[in-house]
Structure 1
């Protein structure tokens, strides 16, 4: 398998990037040694407010990452989805005519992989050619996990509760969120039809990404990943939860963030519901 990867960095923090890049590089090498990976290229896009010190960035990459990198150092801040699309468009143009046995991974800058992560994902795609996205088991950076990290189709009620965190204490809302986060399913058991795959690690065949045209750029931040997953399922693709594919992600719910993030969340939620359909309570 050839793996094409896109990582967008808005806040260049070497204390976060260094372990993430090292773990990705080692996981790629492990997959290559297992015979599951032929080649890999990382598109690293920086769209922060301050100019990037490209020499320092190159030194970090040379010290932590043993695979080819295309550094897109001064990208406009078009939002998460559209900035990733700039890299995806290059992938489609360069590799789209020979999409067989090529996969794309869109990965957050604060994601740490296990040594076996890429190997397990590549093996699954090889055995399941109709898989849309491989959805990993997501833990926090300390390796703790009390849910698989993916979601069912949301309702207005459960998203409101996530925005206004105190509402989680209400038993009916708490029960809704348990189902929304797949907490009714054992984390060690595979699931062959995850509704909404987390956007921190989205790995699927090149032809999946091509067919959907990447992310919908109208989502500046939040819900671009959910929108992609829903559009894929409408076209017959299925997202597979594969617990052998393990990652760690710092994350953080929108209810703990500032009001600018909350506004982006609200605006994107409205766009998502208007496009794919409203649910008021039931998940």
Structure 2
């Protein structure tokens, strides 16, 4: 295989079906496959995906638990062609507007120093959406992007600018992450300790340390609808800070970790008078964003009836 596309589904089968329809419509490259990983969805939602198994180039895998973004994608990789040259991690709330797979494949083949790339995201109203991000650092949080851009313009390119030529970026979006398999395994792939956030920052940092480039290819477009399977609430916001501070513990000194902890506590805490939501979140950050409170450990076991699609136990991600 030239390209293996991995798509996660979590209680959003409609998005998954539309995503796959766009792949089939747009993709001209012959040697590609799709692996859909159902990440512990409800039985009814998973059942709606069964029609996809009729497609000869598609595999449908089901996890009995929600493994999160990193874990779900790592599970999907266990079912791809082992000789695949590139992996395309595509959110199910994305739809291809161009022949993304063929064109990113060609770009990577012509640029052997590039380890990961992405196309240009377009939102549901056809407006430009940033397709790359910055590495989270203490200097950026304290000084602001405008100041750090003056000192280090290469790592702080304007995210909302419309680029016409391929440009090197710090972190490509996790919504449509096209990576060279050689580079991916050289750095160990996604870290499954992350559950929902910061996976792409962590991966792109390790790729950079091995001197692989990350690139935006702006003339290749995909639509990103957003909100395919995750709704914002206090638990989800806590999950973000769990991942963020795990990233800091991996990559920053103890002094910077403590400084960042107080920075975010103050940033969120100053809104506490508006809502107890922010007060709880600030207290959570001050306590160190403990990983033991992750949604990963809040999954309730439910038994699927004997009339279900696969007659097995499944896990639904619901607060206990």
TM-score interval (norm. to shorter): 0.7 to 0.9
Moved over 4 A (4+): 52-55, 156-160, 172-181, 278-281
Aligned to 1:57: 49
Quote how far apart the aligned CAs of 1:157 are: 8.3
1:127 matches 2:110: yes
Which one scores higher on RCO, CA 8 angstroms, separation ≥ 6?
1
Quote how far apart the aligned CAs of 1:21 are: 1.5
State the secondary structure of the residue aligned to 1:239: strand
1:154 matches 2:142: no
1:85 matches 2:74: yes
Kept in 1, the 8 Å contact 2:52–2:60? The answer is: no
How far apart, CA to CA, are the structure 1 residues paired with 2:76 and 2:70?
10
**Which of 121, 139, 151 in structure 2 is aligned with 1:138?**
121
1:39 matches 2:31: yes
Go from structure 1 to structure 2 and tell me whether the alpha carbon gap of 1:148 and 1:75 turns closer, same or farther (over 3 Å shift): same
How far apart, CA to CA, are the structure 1 residues paired with 2:167 and 2:104?
14
Q: TM-score, normalised by structure 1?
A: 0.77
Q: Give structure 2 stretches of 5+ with no counterpart.
A: 264-320
**Which of 165, 173, 183 in structure 2 is aligned with 1:208?**
183
Q: TM-score, normalised by structure 2?
A: 0.68
Kept in 1, the 8 Å contact 2:17–2:49? The answer is: no
Aligned to 1:164: none
Q: Give structure 1 stretches of 5+ with no counterpart.
A: 32-36, 161-171
1:194 matches 2:177: no
Go from structure 1 to structure 2 and tell me whether the alpha carbon gap of 1:209 and 1:174 turns closer, same or farther (over 3 Å shift): closer
Cα deviation 1:22-44 (Å, max 9, x = unaligned) = 1111222xx2xxxxx23111110
Aligned to 1:163: none
How do residues 1-283 of structure 1 correspond to structure 2 at under 5 angstroms?
2-14=2-14, 16-28=15-27, 31=28, 37-52=29-44, 56-59=48-51, 62=54, 68-91=57-80, 94-95=81-82, 98=83, 102-145=85-128, 147-155=129-137, 182-183=157-158, 186-251=161-226, 257-277=232-252, 278=256
Q: State the superposition RMSD in angstroms.
A: 3.0
How far apart, CA to CA, are the structure 2 residues paired with 1:52 and 1:210?
35
Go from structure 1 to structure 2 and tell me whether the alpha carbon gap of 1:10 and 1:55 turns closer, same or farther (over 3 Å shift): closer
Kept in 1, the 8 Å contact 2:69–2:196? The answer is: yes
- Higher-Rg structure is 2
